[in-house]
Amino acid sequence: MALVNKVLVIGGGVGGMCAAIQLRKQGIEVDLVEINPNWAPDGAGITISGPTLRALREVGVIDEVLRLGGHWSAVDICGPQGDVKMTVPVVPASGADDLPGAGGIMRPVLADILGHATQRAGANVRLGLSFESMVQDEAGVDVVFTDGSRGRYDLVIGADGVNSQVRKLVMPEFPGPKFSGQGSWRAVVPRLRENSTIYMGATTKAGMNPISDTECYLFVLDRREGMDFIPPSEWPEKLAELLEEFGGQVGEIRDGLRQGTLPNARLLYRPLAGHMIAGPWHRGRIVLLGDTVHATTPHLASGAGIAIEGAVVLAEELARRHYLEGALLAYAGRHYDRARLVVTASGQMGRIEREGGSLAEHTQIMRDAQQKLRAPL
Ligand SMILES: Cc1cc2nc3c(=O)[nH]c(=O)nc-3n(C[C@H](O)[C@H](O)[C@H](O)COP(=O)(O)OP(=O)(O)OC[C@H]3O[C@@H](n4cnc5c(N)ncnc54)[C@H](O)[C@@H]3O)c2cc1C
């Protein structure tokens, strides 16, 4: 007999959608509510690490991701003028030798692929909706939605992101995410190289990762004292200032930002915050997933990856355990170490960048973490 027959997923980001898809494969009835009526995330590029590609294969969307995204099997490390100093191969995740070492895609394109897969899988998706209240007893959770409709569920999955309302309800003691001291800048630019590329300046590191056959995204992290709001009208000049020391293609992008000749660059600035909540990640029949419990800075480009892996692990544990409490404990028990590795190693890399620390230590932390994440789930 199935442990749960009817599940509510709150939040239609990567984690929530993958959970819905994996549970539908088991014949479980799934309702998914997403607060955004357009179901469309920021228009930024996102990197999909090798382990994330492996998890997307498990979910069943890898062909579309590889067709519509970009991918690479090596990283060129360049000086500030774009001269290649070293090329480092990117090894696929264990058990995924048929996949590229890493990939990239526009976030809305990934959301679209997963959104269609969620609907094809038979989940009942309702947009522009959230929960108003949830009350649980031993046998289920009664939910009132923001449109006044009601439902009763065997399990509720809170996948509503870093500022989760579900978390506020079930873990009111948690103070919320902490600002990391850095901000992230991204821009979409033409793809000129086969490989992913890192440009090492004296004070700034910039990178470019392919997101399709023709485009890549530029990423830069900067130091920030606080989570101050920067008006979008100031973004081109602020990003150009960060790229001051670069020549080559990065220098051309800087000049283009200043001259206003990059109208399709889709710039995005985000201050970075994160947290790692100790397990267990459930209270009774309400369980948390993805950024709600492990939100990371993007240094290892693995935040979405661990949200997807978490969804896969949660669905597997629900399928193979004989009582719900055991399945939910096993989910956090199995997934916690990988998530913690991503959050803590990313945090260490950010600290070294902020404090101008050792590049060798930074590289070692990144390599060690990537090696461990390649291991099977
Ligand atoms: C600047 C930046 C760059 C990043 N780059 C990368 C990268 O390159 N690679 C990578 O793997 N990861 C990256 N990440 C991390 C990644 O974006 C997150 O870890 C991932 O999106 C988490 O997925 P999620 O489903 O848990 O949450 P989210 O993607 O945040 O999804 C949560 C969903 O819940 C919805 N929601 C919110 N509140 C409610 C509510 N009350 N009711 C209903 N719905 C609600 C939201 O609209 C959203 O659709 C980056 C993060 C940042 C900030």
Atom of ligand 1 nearest to the CA of 14: 25
**Residue linked to tokens 């700034």:** 204
Helix (H) / strand (E) containing 101: none
SS3 299: helix
Cα-to-centroid distance, 161 and ligand 1 (Å): 5
What is the rounded distance in angstroms from the CA atom of residue 131 to the CA atom of residue 108? 24
Kindly give the distance from the C-alpha atom of residue 39 to the centroid of ligand 1, in angstroms, as a whole number. 12
CA 368 to chain CA centroid, nearest Å: 20
Q: Which residues contact 79 (CB under 8 A, 6 or more apart)?
A: 85, 199, 200
Give the distance (Å) from ligand 1 centre to CA of residue 291. Answer: 6
**Ligand 1 site-directed mutation target among 17, 38, 46, 299, most atoms within 8 Å of CB:** 46
**CB of 279 within 8 A of CB of 314?**
no
Ligand 1 atom nearest to 166, measured from its CA:
41
Predicted confidence at residue 359, as pLDDT, reads 83
One-letter amino acid at 340 equals R
Q: What is the pTM of this model?
A: 0.97
- Tell me, in angstroms, the distance from the centre of ligand 1 to residue 255's CA: 31
Integer CA distances (angstroms), 241 to 177, 185, 258, 357, in order: 28, 12, 10, 22
Residue 13 CA, closest ligand 1 atom number: 31
Q: Helix, strand, or coil here: 26? A: coil
**Residue ranges of the chain whose pLDDT lies below 70:** none
pLDDT tens-digit series, residues 118-177: 999 999 999 999 999 999 999 999 999 999 999 999 999 999 999 999 999 999 999 999
Q: What is the pLDDT at residue 76?
A: 94
Question: pLDDT at position 227, please?
Answer: 87
Q: For position 339, what pLDDT does the model report?
A: 98
Distance of CA 177 to the CA centre of its chain: 15
Question: What is the Cβ-side half-sphere exposure of residue 137, based on CA atoms within 13 angstroms?
Answer: 3
Of all atoms in ligand 1, which is nearest to the CA of residue 290? Answer: 26
**pLDDT for the residue 287:** 98
> How do 196-200 and 74-78 pair as beta strands?
parallel
Which tens digit of pLDDT belongs to each residue from 298-327?
A: 999 999 999 999 999 999 999 999 999 999
- What is the reported pLDDT for 130? 98
* pLDDT attached to residue 1: 75
* Polymer length of the chain: 377
Q: What distance in angstroms lies between residue 218's CA and the mean position of ligand 1's atoms?
A: 19
Residue 81 CA to ligand 1 center (angstroms) comes to: 34
The pLDDT value recorded for residue 134 is 98
Please give the pLDDT value at position 307: 98
At residue 42, the pLDDT reads: 83
User: Residues 95-115: pLDDT tens digits?
Assistant: 999 999 999 999 999 999 999
In the predicted model, what is the mean pLDDT of the chain? 96
Q: Ligand 1: which residues within 6 Å by Cβ? A: 10-16, 33-36, 46-47, 52, 130, 159-161, 165, 184, 270, 272, 290-291, 298, 301-305, 307
From CA 296, how far away is CA 303, in angstroms rounded? Answer: 6
Atom of ligand 1 nearest to the CA of 160: 34
Looking at the CA of residue 130, tell me the nearest atom of ligand 1.
42
For ligand 1, the distance from its centroid to the CA atom of residue 374, given in whole angstroms, is: 22
Element (H, E) at 56: helix 50-59
Q: Which residues contact 175 (CB under 8 A, 6 or more apart)?
A: none
Residue 155's alpha-carbon distances to 7, 122, 282, in angstroms, are: 5, 18, 10
- How is residue 139 written in tokens? 């046998």
